[in-house]
Structure formats: C-alpha cells, structure tokens
Structure 1
Amino acid sequence: MRIIRPTVICAVLLTTPLWAEERPSPMQPGEAWESLQFDVFGTDSLVETPGALSLDAPFRAHDPALVPVRVTQPAGGARIEELTLMIDENPSPVAATFTLGEAMHPLDMEVRVRVNAYSNVRAVARTDGGDWAMAGRFVRATGGCAAPAGKDAEAALAHLGQTRFQPLSAETGGGDMRREAKLMIRHPNYSGLQRDQITLLTIPARFIDLLEVRQGEELLFSMTGGISISEDPVFTFRYRDNGAGEIVVRAVDTEGVEFGGTFPVPAG
C-alpha cells in the first residue's frame, strides 16, 4: 500500500491556494456601485466592455496604500477623452478623473491608489464619440486610506512638490514616435483619515487636486485628484511624441501650493 506522507499533503494544500490567488479577479456584484454609477456618471446602465478597455490590478494588494492600477486599450479602439478611476468601497470612491489629449491614444497608463476595503476597482471611460467603456478588477485590501504616512510631517513638507520626469523607452511605428515615461511627485497626499504617529491626532486632508502634463503646449493629460491617490504619486504612461522636446508639469494641491517643472526629452 502506498503511503502519502503528511508533509506532502501539507505542501499541496499550502501551495495550491497561494498560486490560485495570484490570478486576477473579475469584479463582484455590490450595492455601492448601483448608486455610484448614477451619482457620478448620470446613468445606471454602465457595463463592462471586454476588448475595448482593460484594467490590471493585483488580486491581493501587497500594500493597500500603494496599489498599482494599469489601464490600457487596444490600438484600434476609439479615442478616450475622459477616464475616471473608481474604488467602490473607499470613503471617497472617485479616485481621479483624467482628461486625455490625442497623443495619449491608445491609452496605456498606470497609477498607484489607496484601497480601503475589499472592493471593485474600475476604470470608466468616455470616448470622443460619446460612448462609454468600463473595465475593472476585484482587489483584496484593507486600511489603505488610513495607513500611516511613509514619512513624518516635517520630512514630507521638506520635500513637498519635488517633481521628476523619467523617459523610459521610445519606439517608432507608422511614422510616429511612441514614448513611455514616468512622472514622480513628492507629496504626502494626506487622506484626512490618517493619524500622526506621535501625537495620535488626525492629520488634515491635503492632496494634489489638479495636475496638468503637456508636451510643449499640447495637453497630454490633466487630472482632478482625490484622497485615493497614493502618497508620492507615480504616473507611468505612453504617448505620441509631437517633437516639442520638453514635458511641462504643473500641479496644485488643496492648500493652493503650486509646483512642477519643465523637463527635456532626449531626441530619438
């Protein structure tokens, strides 16, 4: 008779669920979305549109305050004029709304968000033809909006507004130069739900509520942000180079502090 050792059984039981949980999870039905879609978009008939828009996010977040969310669309898709990131169960479900310039088509953008409870994370897009598209994932995370800040207030304020633009790659296709780049901004993006770890007092909300990114005078994207965008926001995106040779960034936070800069883009 063949004997199966307990250690083998334990190994199978332990490894299989962990492997399975790495798979992306489709969105789950929830009451929050039933009212949110009408309140935010003025319609109650938004549905997922496979093939028109995709959203990638981890099934189980490693850090609920720094959850990467990437939104993409196929090359032949309609141009997206406006994109809204929603986190259904967050205290402020609208994470950000982006207005997108023509050079961002087809869309490929990643941003880090806070997820406060097990929730659907979704992207809702409106095309230049007035049509809607939606994609999303169910993300397991808790406490992202109230998670302690990564730096104390003094350190955060000392570096507030420092902005870096990093070109990552460039490729030519169809006569156009398509670039990938990363924009990094130092800002605590306080949610209003965090506590000072020394005084235990609630830290007032303070976050970037306006961001504009241009190549020369042409708009790449603008963002109206909220408390669900992570501390020290990072935006990774692809765009069609218009030859301006520079990226201009302007950001304003809820205290009215303005920052940004002009960054050269290497040729080729």
Structure 2
Amino acid sequence: MQIVRPFVICATLAAGPLWADEKPSPMEPGEAWQSLRLDVFGTDAIAETPGALMLDAPFRAHDPALVPVRLTQPADGAPLSEITLMIDENPAPVAATFTLGPAMHPLDLEVRVRVNAYSNVRAVAKAANGGDWLMAGRFVRATGGCAAPAGKDAEAALAHLGEMRVQPLAAEQTPDGLRRTAKLMIRHPNYSGLQRDQVTLMTIPARFIHLLEVRQGDELLFTMSGGISISEDPVFTFRYRDSGAGEIRVRAVDTEGVEFGGSFAISAG
C-alpha cells in the first residue's frame, strides 16, 4: 500500500561525527504509527518480539538519502512469508513490501532507503505459518533524504537506466545446505517526486522501481513492491540457500512501465 502524506521540504543537516556511544536506539513513541498501523495492517495483532526479528540501522545517518537497513533472524526463527519496511515520518511511509521464498530463511536482507526526518524505521513481518505479525525497529536521526538532489543528472541517469549486476560475496556450508550471500545493484534514479532539477529548479516527476523479482533459476527468492523511499541506484544484499541452479535471475519494472532484467551466473565454488 502506498500511503502519501503532505510534504514540507527540510534542509539536510550537516553530517556530524558518529560518536562511539551513538548506537542504534529502540523505537521512540510517536503519533504517526497509530494511524499507519490501522491503514496498513488493520486490526491485526502485531507483536514486538525481541530476538525473533532484528532491524539494524545507523542511529545518525551519514547520508539521509542512502541509509542502510538490515533485516535478520536467528537460525531457529520462524520462516517468514512477507515483510513490510516502514519509515514512519516519510512522505510515503511504506518503503517496500517484500514477499519471501523458502530459500531466504532465515532472513538476512539489507536495503538502502531515504529517511526524510527523525523517524522510527520499522519492519513488520508475517510468519509463513500464519499467526501474529512480528515487528522490530530502530530510531534513526536523518533529515531531507527524500528531497536530496539526485547523484547524477537526468541524462546520465537515463543513459544507464536498468543496468544491473549481481556480485557474489560469500558462501558457507550450513546444516541445511550451502548458503550464499549476494549483492544486487541496479542503476535507476528512483526519483521521489520531491527533488528539484539543479539547473531548471523544476520538480523532477516521480519515477521509481515499483516491482522487483529475484529468483535462483525458476525458484523465487524474493519480490519487492517498492515506493519512493528506496534509494537512488538501489542495492540489495541478501543471503539464500543455494539450490544448485547456478544463476540468479532478476526482473524489474518501473512506474513508467519500463521493464529490465538479467541472468547472472553463480559459480559452484
């Protein structure tokens, strides 16, 4: 669900030092979540269960337009079928909804997002066998991420639109088989609709990846339904159980209806 609230452009704070005692902090009370919870999840029960689902993010973001958020589970956690990533104070609070295939269990997924104001960043997940939603989150200090200028001009961004690469990072033998870690990088400006062209000062229309499918062979690893809070040139780092297919297949569609993708060989080593 794409929820959009009125937006006021905020100036980006100068990045300060990340002191040793400035560690990710638990979520803080806020009014935004009360209405968001009903809009997105209705009256479903949502349980904060420490240790069942973890979300890691920097307490103070160095770049509010490129904030890394990592979602993990313990090895004995319940398999998850769906997870919604939310940034309470963003103009569009639902950053993305992921559906997860069995090979993604236990979850280890990292994505980069825009954070527009000091906000709770939360993940709400559904167990594959039903039951209550699980929730984890962190309070992140960042401002102006949704309106931050694009990293490259429109001509350069469009020239490389849809280029992608999958980089194998690690492989580990576990009791349930070989598990691999890979990084998917996609060239796309993911315009938020809140940025201005630095030459004309006109607002750049929103254009972003709204559908992403990642598979090993024909087996689904995950899909993403994304919004404006996913960063420019999206990067996804994920861990999965290797089926022996030997390839990662990616398909993406943006809001202009442009589809792009690729197949990437994964070595047996």
The 5 A counterparts of 1:209-220 are: 209-220=210-221
In terms of fraction of residues, the more helix-rich structure is: 1
SS at match of 1:20: coil
Number of the residue aligned with 1:146: 147
C-alpha distance in structure 2 between counterparts of 1:99 and 1:82, whole Å = 4
CA RMSD of aligned residues (A): 1.3
Q: Using the TM superposition, give the Cα deviation of residue 47 of structure 1 relative to its aligned residue in structure 2, in angstroms.
A: 3.6
C-alpha distance in structure 1 between counterparts of 2:176 and 2:239, whole Å = 16
Return 5+ residue gaps in structure 1 as ranges: 1-15
Number of the residue aligned with 2:161: 160
Number of the residue aligned with 1:98: 98
Q: Using the TM superposition, give the Cα deviation of residue 18 of structure 1 relative to its aligned residue in structure 2, in angstroms.
A: 2.9
Report if the CA contact (8 A) 2:248-2:265 is conserved.
yes
Q: Using the TM superposition, give the Cα deviation of residue 45 of structure 1 relative to its aligned residue in structure 2, in angstroms.
A: 4.3
Number of the residue aligned with 1:33: 33
Residue 51, structure 1, aligned to residue 51, structure 2: yes
C-alpha distance in structure 1 between counterparts of 2:232 and 2:18, whole Å = 31
Q: Using the TM superposition, give the Cα deviation of residue 85 of structure 1 relative to its aligned residue in structure 2, in angstroms.
A: 0.3
Q: Using the TM superposition, give the Cα deviation of residue 24 of structure 1 relative to its aligned residue in structure 2, in angstroms.
A: 1.2
C-alpha distance in structure 2 between counterparts of 1:155 and 1:224, whole Å = 25
C-alpha distance in structure 2 between counterparts of 1:220 and 1:44, whole Å = 26
SS at match of 1:201: coil
C-alpha distance in structure 2 between counterparts of 1:164 and 1:88, whole Å = 31
SS at match of 1:155: helix
The 5 A counterparts of 1:120-199 are: 120-131=120-131, 132-174=133-175, 176-199=177-200
Q: Using the TM superposition, give the Cα deviation of residue 38 of structure 1 relative to its aligned residue in structure 2, in angstroms.
A: 1.1
Number of the residue aligned with 1:208: 209
**Pair 1:37–1:260, CA change in 2 (3 A):** same
Structure possessing the higher radius of gyration over alpha carbons = 1
C-alpha distance in structure 2 between counterparts of 1:39 and 1:266, whole Å = 44
Residue 239, structure 1, aligned to residue 257, structure 2: no
Return 5+ residue gaps in structure 2 as ranges: 1-16
The two structures have a TM-score, normalised by structure 1, of 0.92
Q: Using the TM superposition, give the Cα deviation of residue 174 of structure 1 relative to its aligned residue in structure 2, in angstroms.
A: 1.5
**Pair 1:83–1:175, CA change in 2 (3 A):** closer
Q: Using the TM superposition, give the Cα deviation of residue 175 of structure 1 relative to its aligned residue in structure 2, in angstroms.
A: 5.1
Report if the CA contact (8 A) 1:100-1:221 is conserved.
yes
Report if the CA contact (8 A) 1:34-1:44 is conserved.
no
Report if the CA contact (8 A) 2:70-2:110 is conserved.
yes
1:203-238 superposed Cα distances (whole Å, 9 cap, x missing partner): 000000000000010000000000000000000000
Aligned length: 252
1:160-187 superposed Cα distances (whole Å, 9 cap, x missing partner): 0001001111011125110000000000
C-alpha distance in structure 1 between counterparts of 2:175 and 2:266, whole Å = 21
1:23-61 superposed Cα distances (whole Å, 9 cap, x missing partner): 111100000000101110112642421010000000000
Q: Using the TM superposition, give the Cα deviation of residue 129 of structure 1 relative to its aligned residue in structure 2, in angstroms.
A: 1.8
